[in-house]
Structure 1
Amino acid sequence: MGTRTRTRRTTVAAVAAATALALAPGCTLSDTGGGDGKLPGGEGRVLAVKIDNVGPARPQTGLDAADVVYAEQVEAGLSRLMAVYAERLPPVIGPVRSARETDLELLRQFDDPALAFSGAQSKLLPLISAAPLRPLPPGKAPGAAYFRGSGKPAPHNLFVRPKALGADPDASGLESTGFRFGPRPEGGTPERERTVRFPAARFTFTWAAEQKRWLVSMDGRQARTSDGKTLGASTVVVQYVKMRPSRFHDRSGNNTPFTETVGSGTARVLRDGRAYAARWERTLPQDGTEFTTADDGKPLPFAKGQVWVVYAKA
């Protein structure tokens, strides 16, 4: 599953034009996103869902069914998740929250992704409309797709029924990522636990040999789904990236960091109770991300199962 360049429905020129339309930073939120005027349904080889990850939003629903979970830093040093579904869709996913500029570049490595999100800043909406993805916020989704749950306070109680979105992902949607899966490579060092810290959040991954996966803890508490399932990953990637201020802020004036997922750098890959020093490379936005061993540059395969990618500041 090596990196490959793909033709997109939206040109780079269109994206640049939309970028020019985005004015000074603002903090207005909107529940409508995307401007293609199409009815949702059928398209999208993967479904990505922005998921809330502050304390009142936990435990989340449907996160255990994701093929890939990305952990991103947002305003005030907090974290937010983006779960990507290709092989199967759970009945309900959430809580769903708003999109960020980082998501648009991150998702370009997927072929025809659909993105479920609660809304976005009004000045970000032109970028979402121009991006090569299928935006499916509440304003563009069928009435039965999104609903407010009763067990959490607003705004941490918005959930989505992915089938009602008309999303129809396929396992082949992961082929464009650059990820490789295979037997454990030689080398690596034994590792039982690793913690990644954001300014106001932290993730800890603890190897459970009997389960053959890394159990996830967030902010010091073991992560579970709303139906009591323990969250765990077969492979954990700590990807060290550049983060810079974006043009956008939240309602309190906190700047939204932009995570640069195009480029190259170092990473730490955890699988089978071992840690591997790695390098990552993504030359163009439409390319996948390749991971290679740091010492000899060979492709570094992941263990089959759920993958967590945590973006840490280089």
Structure 2
Amino acid sequence: MKKWTIAIIVLLLAIGAGGVYWMMQEEEKPENGKEEPAEPGEEPDSQAFAPFTGITEGGPYMSRPVLAVINNHPDARPQTGLNEADIVFEFIAEYNITRFAALYQSTFPQEVGPIRSARDYFVNLAAAYDAFFVAHGYSPEAYTMLQSGMVDHINGIDYDGSLFQRSTDRVAPHNSYITYDNIKLGMEMVNASPDYSTEAPYAFIQGTVNGKISEQASTLEVRYGQDPNFTSAFTYDETAQRYKRSSGGIPTVDKETLQQTEVANVLVFEADHETIDAKGRQSIDLESGGKALLFQSGGVREIEWISQGGMLIPAANNETVELVPGKRGSISCPLNPEWNNRSATPLEKGQK
């Protein structure tokens, strides 16, 4: 099985009801107030489909996305609210320490955290997804972008002890949390629109996965250097039809519910990056696209990834690749191509 030794990003989406994504638009009703029956082949009311998961239950999905930066240091685990995210991006923040950016739109957690500081690539993602951006602190590059008004945002530096609260069971910087009620309050305070407005170009499978996936791969490991605390593993559960995530050999669970993170699609993207300062911060190329691996239903397929308006999209033969619909998503950050011992390794079925 092939081993990748340069930068990676991982996208995960948990399994859900069948469906396909359509842009959510409010349709005008006929003058008699009754809905006309759809003709064969016509799309149903697109408001019923969540744009980042393809799920059909619980709509309409008209809320503005929220992108929150979440700490992934071992002292910050287990985190709160990751399992409610539609997509979670995981990137190296400095050296081999990773950080999450959780995108919420179809559902929102009661509380999320620990919240951590922004990087420029997180701000770029928030702008691309037209998400309200939540972080606590920032790198110099991210600070300049936030001050420019590039994205609507709130930051724990400005609202520590008010919108953001410190837990007493952990020490700073691993103890900053925010409730969704306070995120909504923050939107009001900075006059940010609460409404969804950006089309998401993801596509979702109707029915079951077919023979496009040709090679068995029930376990995936994503390694960030020699520290096992930043080795993520995803093991496919055939009964649940989901990949269960662990980190450093410990299951990734929600702090409040103890529910393990489970996903149906795992996307591994190659992306160039480099260390830009003495603190190990990274510059990451999220525009050029590149090679990718797609894991679904216990199999793997080689594809590509592209940037579409700054959104990270799986593609093959210039067409968007369909994902299994569902809740909870996650993405892992690119690695330094000079670190040849860092790799994403899909393992043969049955290997540990």
Deviations, residues 48-81 of structure 1 (Å, cap 9, x unaligned): 1110101110000011000000010121211111
**1:311 and 2:333 aligned:** yes
Equivalent residue number for residue 94 of structure 1 = 113
**C-alpha deviation, 1:141, in angstroms:** 4.8
**Which amino acid counterpart does residue 223 of structure 2 have in structure 1?**
R
Equivalent residue number for residue 177 of structure 2 = 159
Q: Is contact 1:86–1:174 with CA below 8 Å preserved after alignment?
A: no
Equivalent residue number for residue 31 of structure 1 = none
Equivalent residue number for residue 259 of structure 1 = 284
Q: Is contact 2:304–2:315 with CA below 8 Å preserved after alignment?
A: yes
Equivalent residue number for residue 264 of structure 2 = 234
**C-alpha deviation, 1:107, in angstroms:** 2.6
Q: Is contact 1:95–1:159 with CA below 8 Å preserved after alignment?
A: yes
Equivalent residue number for residue 270 of structure 1 = 295
Task: Give the fraction of aligned pairs with identical amino acids, expressed as a percent.
Answer: 19
Query: Which runs of 4 or more aligned residues in structure 1 lie more than 4 Å from their structure 2 counterparts after TM superposition?
Result: 139-144, 167-170
Unpaired runs of 5+ in structure 1?
4-42
**1:191 and 2:217 aligned:** yes
Determine the C-alpha separation between the residues in 2 that align with 1:142 and 1:118: 8
Q: Describe the shift of the 1:98–1:210 C-alpha distance in structure 2 as closer, same or farther (beyond 3 A).
A: same
Q: Is contact 2:252–2:261 with CA below 8 Å preserved after alignment?
A: yes
Q: Describe the shift of the 1:92–1:263 C-alpha distance in structure 2 as closer, same or farther (beyond 3 A).
A: same
What are the equivalent positions in structure 2 for 1:1-314 lying under 5 Å apart? 45-111=64-130, 113-121=131-139, 124-130=142-148, 132-141=150-159, 144-166=162-184, 167=187, 175-176=199-200, 178-183=201-206, 184-188=209-213, 189-199=215-225, 200=227, 201-227=230-256, 228-246=258-276, 249=277, 253-282=278-307, 286-293=309-316, 296-305=317-326, 306-313=328-335
For these two proteins, the number of residue pairs brought into alignment is 263
Determine the C-alpha separation between the residues in 2 that align with 1:185 and 1:239: 22
- The DSSP-based 3-state class of the residue aligned with 1:90 is coil
Q: Is contact 1:2–1:290 with CA below 8 Å preserved after alignment?
A: no
Q: Is contact 1:272–1:303 with CA below 8 Å preserved after alignment?
A: no
**Which amino acid counterpart does residue 246 of structure 2 have in structure 1?**
S
**C-alpha deviation, 1:138, in angstroms:** 2.5
**Which amino acid counterpart does residue 260 of structure 1 have in structure 2?**
D
Unpaired runs of 5+ in structure 2?
1-20, 24-61, 188-192, 338-352
Determine the C-alpha separation between the residues in 1 that align with 2:295 and 2:334: 15
Deviations, residues 67-102 of structure 1 (Å, cap 9, x unaligned): 000010121211111101001111110000000112
Whose RCO is larger (CA < 8 A, sep 6+)? Answer: 2
Equivalent residue number for residue 340 of structure 2 = none
**C-alpha deviation, 1:240, in angstroms:** 0.8
Q: Describe the shift of the 1:87–1:299 C-alpha distance in structure 2 as closer, same or farther (beyond 3 A).
A: same
Q: Is contact 1:237–1:307 with CA below 8 Å preserved after alignment?
A: no
**Which amino acid counterpart does residue 208 of structure 1 have in structure 2?**
D
Q: Describe the shift of the 1:192–1:174 C-alpha distance in structure 2 as closer, same or farther (beyond 3 A).
A: farther
Q: Is contact 1:240–1:265 with CA below 8 Å preserved after alignment?
A: yes
Q: Is contact 2:120–2:141 with CA below 8 Å preserved after alignment?
A: no
Q: Is contact 2:68–2:101 with CA below 8 Å preserved after alignment?
A: yes
Q: Describe the shift of the 1:147–1:49 C-alpha distance in structure 2 as closer, same or farther (beyond 3 A).
A: same
